[in-house]
Amino acid sequence: MNSLHSFAFGLATHNSSAELIEAFYPMPCFKPSEALSDLLVTSFELAAMSNNTYTVDPDTAAHLVSELETLGENKLATQLSAMSASEQPVIACLVSVDAPPQSIPEAFLKLHLLSHRHVLPQELNLNGMFGVLKNLAWTNLGPIDLDDLPALQFAARLEGKFINVETVDKFPKMTNYVVPRGIRIADAARVRLGAHLGEGTTIMHEGFVNFNAGTKGAAMIEGRISAGVIVDENSDLGGGCSTMGTLSGGGTEIISVGKNCLIGANAGIGFPLADGCIIEAGLYVTAGTKVQLLDATGNLSKTAKALELASLTDMLFRRNSISGAVECIPLKTSMSLNEELHSNN
């Protein structure tokens, strides 16, 4: 039996050369049942331990809709029926093995799984995704291949119309694909598809969340969550602060922010921050930063790299305004968010 890791039915966008450039999956499925896996693997004759994408013709769609209804997968059947009735190309992306994505449909499926909260950041193999995705113009008319854009812009002008190019990027904004329950985003362009936003998360205007990154629960994000970084619940990233991701200089070290943490305005981290910790405003602490560890009375215990202190909870990281040394001292009280502000209902 070839149990699927994930799958989705979707609508595909092609360029003028009939090359698939983007895929939208309204109901991505993670770890489907054995009966559903069996149906899909058999219907598309998927080889064992492989990943592939198929065009779903009307006859296949009708057969699958009937079989899905028999399995009790009524929502999925309704979605597929609606897609097959449209004039848009319908695809089925089937993934048996969580390997580096080898195609655009597979890459988009994994990004959807993250933003639909089926998986957390770092739980999927996304190695090599940049080399798979195309750099596209994301417009009010949807994604457009950059080679097609000039002719389409000219044609639109001849009709007295205008194509608004919102971004030129490999990743679209998440909200054009899914808006998870219980969130607020002040500037949707600053949250990429593939971001994972836990319920209760608020992203303010200067907040940014990359793909394969995000929050586990209620959080206030006014700074940057870089690729690969996850912020636990009840934490606050202050205005202009930064977390160092593996793509932005963090190397192989996985950066995370624990529960009940505060990273002050214009501060930043390059090491995992344990629960209940605070980084004072303006202080950037990398994994190799030499930190003076103080006890509750302010006496020096030892000097260590910040990475060596990553397991310490309820600590304040600050810079001594006289000596300039970075210090770490136990906190007497913990940070908490305003529950009313983060209900987001």
Predicted pLDDT of residue 93: 98
* Per-residue pLDDT, 249: 45
189 vs 174: CA distance, rounded Å: 8
* Burial (0-12, 13-18, 19+ Cβ within 10 Å), 344: middle
Domains of the chain: 6-133 (3.30.70.2010), 139-169 (no CATH), 174-342 (2.160.10.10)
Contacts of 218 (CB under 8 A, 6+ apart): 198, 199, 200, 201, 233, 234, 337, 339, 342
* 253 carries an active-site annotation: no
Q: Give the three-class secondary structure for 304.
A: strand
> How high is the pLDDT of residue 48?
87
Cβ atoms within 10 Å, residue 22: 24
Q: In sequence order, what are the beta bridge partners of 270?
A: 286
What pLDDT was estimated at residue 245? Answer: 82
**Catalytic one among 222, 233, 280, 327?**
222
| 3-class state of residue 341 by DSSP | helix
Contacts of 92 (CB under 8 A, 6+ apart): 7, 8, 9, 10, 40, 44, 53, 54, 56
Written as tens digits, the pLDDT of the chain (345 aa) is: 578 999 999 999 999 999 999 999 999 999 999 999 999 999 999 998 899 999 999 999 999 999 999 999 999 999 999 999 999 999 999 999 999 999 999 999 999 999 999 999 999 999 999 999 999 999 999 999 999 999 999 999 999 999 999 999 999 999 999 999 999 999 999 999 999 999 999 999 999 999 999 999 999 999 999 999 999 999 999 999 999 986 544 456 789 999 999 999 999 999 999 999 999 999 999 999 999 999 988 899 999 999 999 999 999 999 999 999 999 999 986 656 666 655 677
